[in-house]
Amino acid sequence: MSDKIFDVDHVTLRFGGVVSLNDVTLHQERGEILAVIGPNGAGKTSLFNSLTGVYQPQEGTITFQGSDAKPMSVIGKKPHRVSAAGVARTFQASRMFSALTAFENIKIGAESHRGIGVAGAMLRGPKTRRDERTSDARTVELLDFVGLRAKANVISSSLSYGDRRRLEIARGLATGPQVLLLDEPAAGTNPSEKLELTTLIRKVRDEMGVSILLIEHDMKLVMSLAERLYVLNFGSVIAQGTPEEIRANEKVIEAYLGSTATETGDRS
Amino acid sequence: MKRIFASAHVKRLFSALAALAILELMTGPPGSALTPTAGFTGSFGEASSFFGIFRTQRWVVFLFLALAMYAIWSAWLMWGTQVRAATAKAVSVPRAASRTRPVRWGMAVAVLAVALLLPHLITDPFWQAAMVEQIAVYVLLALGLNVVVGFAGLLDLGFVAFYAIGAYTTAWVTGALPTAAPFGIHFNNFYAIPIAIALAMGSGIILGAPTLRLRGDYLAIVTLGFGEIITIFANNLYGITGGSQGTNTIPHFSLHVGPIKYLWGLTPVPYYYLTIVFVILFIAGFKLLEHSRVGRAWTAIREDEVAAESVGINPLKYKVMAFAIGASTAGFAGVVTASQSNTIFPSSFTLQFSINILVLVIFGGMGSITGVVLGAIVIQTGSMYLLHTPPAGYQPQDLYIYLGALLVVMMIFRPAGLVPSRRRHREIGLAEKGEGHMNEVLTGDTP
């Protein structure tokens, strides 16, 4: 009996006449590092947006199964509800709260799932103070975890690309997720940052037990990190398997990797 | 010839002349068909007035002013960077000191002491009344609108509606309206405070819950409509609100506890203290709110709603909350105004009023509590001064020309306001560099 954290069943997403996801069926095992690859416009980000409640697919079902909770149907839920259930994400072009410090960015994630208390906030009662302390401690922990402790009070817009990526991961982790969705985490980073990022992502899974779902263009990173891959093309899943199987798959070579297939994983 | 006009010096000189010519027309006597050039050819006041020394034709004075402006401008371009660096260096130590906790508390206590002593220092009845009706109440309103516009980044053009709800609730609770007071009892004004706050907050939630899904311009239009609806209701529901004549029988605040009997309203001073107490409470509450989880969530939504949702913030809930808090502040301000003046009528609750409050917030610095309080005090005091002691040639309707000009100048030189909020200041800086995902409150936001 497999333990599926995400179960996407025959999902179709349309925008007017444009079919963005076409009868997509895939699943992620708990604790797995799963990657979704595919050329530009294949529907990868649409898939992420459907998994997090930003888009509402017209057909099919998406089931998220947290470790102890009842399975939740994602379609029809608002993004903040999906986040509360245990799904965190990062964005393709990193979306920080750019006028806030690294610390504040993470803290917003750490405290977002507690009940709001305007009265508590205005009076600053003991519960509010205790909550603040808990969030502060959690934030510092995460800053350490991603290696940004020294930059805690830097305004996030003045961080480097690599640091922003790590900050975004920390902000997502702060919400206490079961699964972390990473949308092209390596975009715009340099080779040494890429290496650090690979280590960090693996650390997130190994030390925090958070499953990872990854979209990435950088083949070297995907092939070294992912345990299983799905390949999307024109909104449909055209292949799935281990990195070795994908490398050898004729359809993938034709659709996605094209003539540079031989270079994949070795020199790209 | 072409080369002469291309010269930066000539451009500057002509700009200075044009700016002062506009100012000359703005401040000039009202024009008429017979004397279309009165703004230029008129003379300055009487020999006994301040401008007596310039008892000459206006254009001569303005020509000198234009030349002075040109000279200062040129000097600033030449030495401005040095001057700026020197001042920055000079103020860096006091500025750093002003951020430490004891200094901040000391300053707050000093400001508080001045505020408490003020009615004894200023005994002119006009100013005593103005301090309550035109300054303290407007400070409250600006504080409330700042939560909506400054903290949550929502453009509300119907703020007057909640103020009207507060005022009419006071009249209703105290039995001053044609409609019966609740349970047939004419309550003391103090009971109107919680009821007005609750009603204003409730109407804020009722208006906010469906409309805050809208963004930017759309929200502004819906709130504008709501402001109009409330005014029209007040005007047309004759049997309930007293129609266009409103009511003038609202009692003053009064206190009857055992042997203590106290009636507000003999002079404006007791009202001043009553309002100041609430201003302090609101400032303290909003300061804590700004630096709490709620304040951070508002900032997150303002900067990037999609990212905020992805970390589990429900934007609608927080926006409705901001709306309700702003509304209840306005509702309270309505109670004070209605009780203090004993009178309300629909024509005082206009769109113009909402815009005035918005001007105070923008001028003072959106999102900065110190800024909006200072902004409200500066603008309202200035307006009252012009009303009380108008300079020669000043007409009451000229006020908006000056306010408009002031805002234009502010937007050019200090777009984040008089005392900018640090977060807002950064956002504007980032937006100018084309970075960040700022929800531009005043120009509509990006979807």
Q: What is the pLDDT of residues B389-407, one digit of tens each?
A: 887 667 788 888 888 888 9
Interface test with A, best of B205, B293, B421, B425 (most A CBs within 10 A): B293
Q: Does B310 touch chain A (CB under 8 A)?
A: yes
Task: Supply the angle between the helices A161-174 and A191-208 in degrees, to the nearest 10.
Answer: 10
Length of chain B: 447
Q: Which of A54, A108, A123 sits opposite B296 (nearest CB)?
A: A108
Taking a C-beta distance cutoff of 8 angstroms, is the pair A54, A79 a contact?
yes
Give the gap in angstroms from C-alpha B417 to the nearest C-alpha of chain A.
17
* Cβ <8 Å between B292 and A124: yes
Residue B349 in tokens = 């609750």
Whole-number Cα distances in Å, B123 to A111, B120, B268: 51, 6, 11
Judging contacts by C-beta atoms under 8 Å, the chain B residues touching residue A109 are: 311-312
Question: What does the pLDDT look like over A195-238, one tens digit per residue?
Answer: 888 999 999 999 999 999 999 888 888 888 999 999 988 889 98
User: Are B303 and A131 within 8 A, CB to CB?
Assistant: no
Q: How many residues does chain A have?
A: 268
Tokens of B126: 């006009």
Nearest by CB to B293, which of A52, A79, A121?
Answer: A121
- Which of B314, B321, B426 is facing A118, going by the closest CB pair? B321
Strand-pair partners of B254: B263
Nearest to A97 among B286, B289, B303 (CB): B303
Q: Is B77 helix (H, G, I), strand (E, B) or coil?
A: helix
The answer to whether B319 contacts chain A (CB < 8 Å) is no
Interface residues on A facing B, Cβ-Cβ cutoff 8 A: 52, 54, 78-80, 83-84, 88-89, 91, 95-100, 104, 107-109, 111-114, 116, 118, 121-124, 128, 131-132, 135, 155, 157, 171-172, 174-175
Tokens of A202: 């693996």
B-interface mutation test, from A51, A78, A96, A122, most B Cβ less than 10 A away: A122
Angle, helix B137-145 to helix B369-388, in steps of 10 degrees: 140
Decide: helix, strand or coil at residue B42.
coil
A193-211 residues labelled b (16+ CB within 10 A) or e (exposed): bbebbbebbeebbeeeebb
Q: What is the CA radius of gyration of chain A?
A: 19
* Cβ-based contacts of B285 with chain A (< 8 Å): 122
Please give the class, per CATH, of domain A4-96+177-263: alpha beta
Q: Which residue of A has its CA nearest to B298?
A: A108
Contact residues, chain A, for B299 at CB < 8 Å: 97, 99-100, 104
Q: Where do the domains of chain B lie, and which CATH numbers do they carry?
A: 2-76 (no CATH), 109-419 (1.10.3470)
Q: What is the pLDDT along chain B (447 residues), one digit of tens a residue?
A: 667 667 888 888 888 888 888 888 777 766 666 776 777 776 665 545 555 555 567 778 788 888 999 999 888 888 888 888 888 888 888 777 777 788 888 888 998 899 888 888 888 888 888 888 899 999 999 999 999 999 998 999 999 999 999 999 998 888 777 777 677 677 777 888 999 999 999 999 998 888 888 766 788 888 999 999 999 998 888 877 887 887 888 888 887 777 777 777 778 888 899 899 999 999 999 999 988 889 999 999 998 889 999 999 999 999 999 999 999 999 999 999 999 888 888 888 989 999 999 999 999 999 999 999 999 999 999 999 988 888 766 778 888 888 888 899 888 888 888 888 877 777 777 666 655 444 444 333 333
Return d(Cα B354, Cα B156) in angstroms, integer.
Answer: 8
